[in-house]
Amino acid sequence: MSALEAFCLGIVQGLTEFFPVSSSGHLVIFRSLFGIQDEGGLLFEIVVHVATLLAIVIYYRKRIMDLVGGVFSRRADALHYAGMLMIGTCPAVLVGLSARGFIERQFQNPVATGAALLVTGAILWTTRSAVPSRGGAARDRPSTALSWRLALLVGCGQALAIFPGISRSGTTVAVALALGLAPAAAAEFSFLLGIIAIAGAAVLMLPDLAAASPEVLANLVYGSAAALAAGLAAIWAFVRMLEGGRFYFFAAYVWAVGGLFLLWTLAGS
């Protein structure tokens, strides 16, 4: 992988991490289409995901500071929210630890990625009646309250999205909306939940990072910088799009990309 390729993949990661189109799936597509080889294996994906994690921290910095301060001061609402984040994290931890080898192999399986994108499109399409309409009418009394059941089910959606082609933001927000959570609250919980999951994956990859060559490390820097900048722009646009009731519009895009990539892959094989 060249520095330019790493930079371009970083932009792809930053833009597609927050839009519900699967950043990991798009990385697989771009690598397959342009024949990009990466000596670092899964390391690049994890590091650019960490860069987009920083975008979440920057965007939600006030909410995060309030939450952390509330936990240390033992404020009831902050402790409850933190507990919901921990419950929502458990499914992804279990899947990540028990199926790491299988997951890594899926990043080399373009057919599976194309099929997973079609699944993401179906998930997004289910939200068309669960978000505010164009005229501004909301779903019947959308809630901002989190329950352990909602947190666990959203966490299961996040666990499913470990596989390339399944959108993490798309799946988690879709589950939250289906369970009656308001759009802004669904986006916030999805992204804050992502901080824990991505940070955990980064810790698992620390040995690989320490063993990486100088060339690989340089590419990680280029890709991370691009992912952070693109991610900040994407998260701002995503929240406004979700509040406007246009979330399910991405279903058509994901179906088109997944279908075309699947046909291209099968024709090439």
Task: Tell me the pTM.
Answer: 0.79
Q: Provide CB contacts within 8 A for 143, sequence distance 6+.
A: 180, 181, 182, 185
- Which of the four pLDDT bands, split at 50, 70 and 90, describes residue 135? very low
Sign of CA dihedral 8, 10, 13, 14: negative
Of the candidates 125, 168, 196, the residue with the CA atom closest to the CA atom of residue 25: 168
Residues in the chain: 269
Sign of CA dihedral 231, 47, 205, 38: positive
- Which of the four pLDDT bands, split at 50, 70 and 90, describes residue 42? low
State pLDDT tens for residues 159-217.
988 888 899 889 999 999 888 888 888 889 988 988 877 777 677 667 766 677 778 78
Let me know: does 47 contact 6? Beta carbons within 8 Å: no
CA dist., res. 229 & res. 10, Å (int): 9
Give the range among 33-37, 153-157, 164-168 with minimum mean pLDDT: 33-37
- Which of the four pLDDT bands, split at 50, 70 and 90, describes residue 269? low
Write down the residue that tokens 């279990």 correspond to.
Answer: 94
- Which of the four pLDDT bands, split at 50, 70 and 90, describes residue 64? very high
Mean pLDDT, the chain, whole residue set? 83
